[in-house]
Structure 1
């Protein structure tokens, strides 16, 4: 194994934003809140503590993996995900990930396990996308590397091409956010078209193209209805909405989170994806101190 690499500031920004979004979004599930709640309308955040979920747990593993190896090695990454899962299994992993990670921890080959899911199609869940924004920040100088490394990290747990496409899209969005830091933010449609233009033919790419064509002034609820907001927990119905939300608020992490929340659906994951992208550009600028105090702290990366 090569020497440990320092984690770049852009990666730390993205990781911290992802964790904040994950914890912020998940907190609205406990207890559940009606979408018309006065608390939502008044922007009254939920009381702490805000615990993060598997989105952040896996993003931490992925970031440590890159620091240790400099690139994604899917078999090793699968084992590292499984070890983290075994140590702390209560982070709200999805049903298929329980099966995958338990099997890998018991010594099974990750390719055989992931390929066998859902009648041999593999999972097209949003798990490979929810954790990947810091990787996009890590390789932001090389968009081809972003796409390839995002695809490889997806392969550790997801065999379906839509899951890989969702991961590549989220990673590319984070890379574009890093590359644009210090300059004016692009328009929402332009940003989404840039990401879609580098994706393989997929439902995720089609969803991003639809998102790019939504008129200015489209409400969050309408966008969520058209694009999906994670109710199916798939890459196809999660990533286009999360990136549409991020692309409209690239300079305002707090606003990105409130707007993403209004899409409901898989709140921890849509907020994690959107915040991981936006924070790669903004860092924690403008985040209320109370939010940061309420959030479960991140462990050291060393």
Structure 2
């Protein structure tokens, strides 16, 4: 099954944001601030990380099955990890992926993490924007499928809420193609309205109340920008950033970068959402040349 154009666009944007953001971890953030303010990109090559690796698995899985089949998806995530464990997976995901690849049941593995609490990391959210764009015509299906995908690696309600939030945001962005972009507050409130009670939802509602002119740094301080690697301190900021730049993928990436924090993941989330609306039309050719290639099947439709 061929992926819908917005889903492929979202995947391409996610990979671009991921690879772009990952280049800014060295040198230190305080030394890079002037370059970021002047919008001077880092030289290539820009290698993508686990954000993109898992998004590729997820989108290919949807192409084969038309929806999330959790047992198969968990095995496919583990196989991709085993083939390329260098993609900067988080410590807990090393444990999960190795156990699943060794034959353990993903349910028992994910629920046992962190003393039986499960992981509320941002890994389920970072990869899911293309899924939201895929099912954009049916927001109930977006939420359901995003939740299914999240639980294969993250057995925690905040991780699931983060994944649903990103998927809904990407779906709304895809649905707005060809029309005026919604306002930032309106967009964030609509996303929050599809979530269960959670810290992620509270963060989105806080973000929606920020006055016009709120700086990226202020938003990052209040919402968090992924330094804790959790869904609740990553997703609200990334979606606030995306919601303020729905008409420009480069602007969304630059603005999100200015929050620092977990830059590959926040930029991947924001870019995956915005690209579901814009595609790659306004991305400088030099950026795409610097970014590591994706498989041929992931190319946007002409």
TM-score band, normalised by shorter chain: over 0.9
Residue 293 of structure 2 aligns with which residue?
297
Alpha-carbon distance in 2 for matches of 1:21, 1:120: 33
Q: Is residue 130 from structure 1 mapped to residue 106 from structure 2 by the alignment?
A: no
Q: Which residue of 7, 20, 23 maps to 2:19?
A: 23
Q: Which residue of 179, 185, 193 maps to 2:181?
A: 185
The alpha carbon displacement at 1:38 in A equals 2.3
Alpha-carbon distance in 2 for matches of 1:84, 1:227: 32
Alpha-carbon distance in 2 for matches of 1:62, 1:217: 36
Residue 108 of structure 1 aligns with which residue?
104
Alpha-carbon distance in 1 for matches of 2:178, 2:113: 43
Q: Which residue of 39, 63, 71 maps to 1:75?
A: 71
Q: In the TM superposition, what are the counterparts of 1:137-152 in structure 2 within 5 Å?
A: 137-152=133-148
Residue 10 of structure 1 aligns with which residue?
6
Residue 59 of structure 2 aligns with which residue?
63
Q: Is residue 231 from structure 1 mapped to residue 231 from structure 2 by the alignment?
A: no
Deviations 1:166-194 (A, max 9, x none): 00000000000011111100110000000
Report the TM-score when normalising by structure 1. 0.97
The alpha carbon displacement at 1:33 in A equals 3.6
The alpha carbon displacement at 1:36 in A equals 6.0
Q: Which residue of 16, 27, 33 maps to 1:37?
A: 33
Residue 203 of structure 2 aligns with which residue?
207
Tell me if the contact between 1:136 and 1:170 (Cα under 8 Å) persists in the aligned partners. Answer: yes
Residue 157 of structure 1 aligns with which residue?
153
Structure 1 residue runs of 4 or more that deviate by more than 4 Å after TM superposition: none
Tell me if the contact between 1:169 and 1:195 (Cα under 8 Å) persists in the aligned partners. Answer: yes
Alpha-carbon distance in 1 for matches of 2:30, 2:47: 21
The alpha carbon displacement at 1:102 in A equals 0.1
Local SS of the residue matching 1:301? helix
Alpha-carbon distance in 2 for matches of 1:246, 1:80: 29
Instruction: Give unpaired runs (5+ residues) of structure 1.
Output: none
Alpha-carbon distance in 2 for matches of 1:43, 1:117: 40
Deviations 1:90-130 (A, max 9, x none): 00000000000000000000000000001101000000000
Report the TM-score when normalising by structure 2. 0.97
Q: Which residue of 245, 260, 264 maps to 1:249?
A: 245
Pairwise CA RMSD? 1.0
30-39 vs 168-177, greater mean Cα deviation: 30-39
Q: Which residue of 172, 176, 186 maps to 2:172?
A: 176
Tell me if the contact between 1:60 and 1:301 (Cα under 8 Å) persists in the aligned partners. Answer: no
Residue 198 of structure 1 aligns with which residue?
194
Instruction: Give unpaired runs (5+ residues) of structure 2.
Output: none
Alpha-carbon distance in 1 for matches of 2:228, 2:34: 27
